[in-house]
Amino acid sequence: MSDEAAAPRPQETIMQAVFGFMASRALTVAAMLNVADALQEGPRYYTDLASAVGADQRSLHRLLRLLVSLGIFEETSPGTYGLNAAADLLRSDHPQSLRDMAVMITSPSHWLAWGEFDAAVRSGESGSRHAFGTDLFAWFQQEENREQWELFNAAMTSFSAGTAAAVAKAFDFGSFGKIVDVGGGHGLLLRQLLAVAPQATGVLFDLPAVVEGADRGELGERLEVVGGDFFESVPAGGDAYVLKHIIHDWSEEQCVRILRNIAAGMAPDGRVLVAEIVMPDTPEPHAAKFMDVNMLAMTEGGCERTESEYAALFESAGLRLIAVHPTDSIASIIEGVRA
């Protein structure tokens, strides 16, 4: 069959994109119901599965029929559903689980902000500001949104699971004595880095309300937990400052402030290691392009950047980009030193 014959018709291309939100919401609901957990012992007929997860039988059958068509779950015989490699990542106990990310992505924090995406495109202000009257992170700190804040942090840990292992594998952290994870959340990435750099100590740095939930594991005194604001300062004396999915949240001015604080505090021969999805200069489909518009919807000036844009950003902060290291995940490691 020729490529022309195999290509989708224009109507199919549009309708597939139009229906995209349905796939996202269906995936969220399957994750909320913990369907993958209920299938860990093997495939189940949909009536039995519906009873196990507390869902209407026919409705669950229709939900899973859609997800199977998208490559998530498998129908092993008519009406009987089981896990495949993709659905396995929705298990809550999977070491690289994306379950919390799947729940969060159409929760009110994102669903309502994306409902204002037209206003974001027209105005350049985030969908969050149009939906909530304030920026996303300020909204999270309101007491009535505490559950959404906790879900967001759990989702970020979930999102980190695959990326953290890939970052730890893609770069030699063995030469560093002190690794500072800036905006490190609950510490998943830093624990991975300290596992591959057994001689190093680590500093987990994030907002005080975030690091309250940090997991030290068995690291003991090797891991120091520090609460603070990276717009004001960062812990000094680090040999490596790692920022994973932090820089893309903020405007140019804010990113320069963060990076300048790091440049001021780092050891003379230290490294800045930014783990982000690098935007390609070419028009092919790429995860960065989805994440970029998500930053438009959710944040005040956040975006994904090309390699040349990272180089310019580093230069503005008194740093110099020296390499971009691909990883086995969608993220790359952008390496910088003092200029």
Mean pLDDT across the stretch 206-230?
85
Do 204 and 330 have their domain in common?
yes
Q: What length is written for the chain? A: 339
Domain of 214?
160-338
Do 59 and 197 have their domain in common?
no
Catalytic residue among 61, 110, 245, 248: 248
Q: Is 306 contained in some domain? A: yes
Q: Is 215 contained in some domain? A: yes
Do 191 and 307 have their domain in common?
yes
pTM: 0.88
User: How many structural domains are present in the chain?
Assistant: 2
Q: Is 270 contained in some domain? A: yes
pLDDT at 1: 42
Do 168 and 243 have their domain in common?
yes
Which 8-state DSSP code applies to residue 306? -
Q: Which of 66-80, 91-105, 155-169, 258-272 has the lowest mean pLDDT?
A: 155-169
Report yes or no: 243 and 274 within 8 Å, Cβ to Cβ. Answer: yes
Known catalytic residue at 130? no
pLDDT digits (tens, 9 = 90+) for 60-77: 999 999 999 999 999 999
Report yes or no: 273 and 266 within 8 Å, Cβ to Cβ. Answer: no
The CA–CA distances, whole Å, from 257 to 16, 54, 61, 233, 260 equal 41, 49, 51, 9, 5
Q: Is 72 contained in some domain? A: yes
Beta-sheet pairing, 178-182 with 240-244 = parallel
Mean pLDDT across the stretch 154-164?
85
pLDDT digits (tens, 9 = 90+) for 39-65: 999 999 999 999 999 999 999 999 999
Confidence grade of residue 339 (pLDDT, cut at 50, 70, 90)? very high
Which 8-state DSSP code applies to residue 86? H
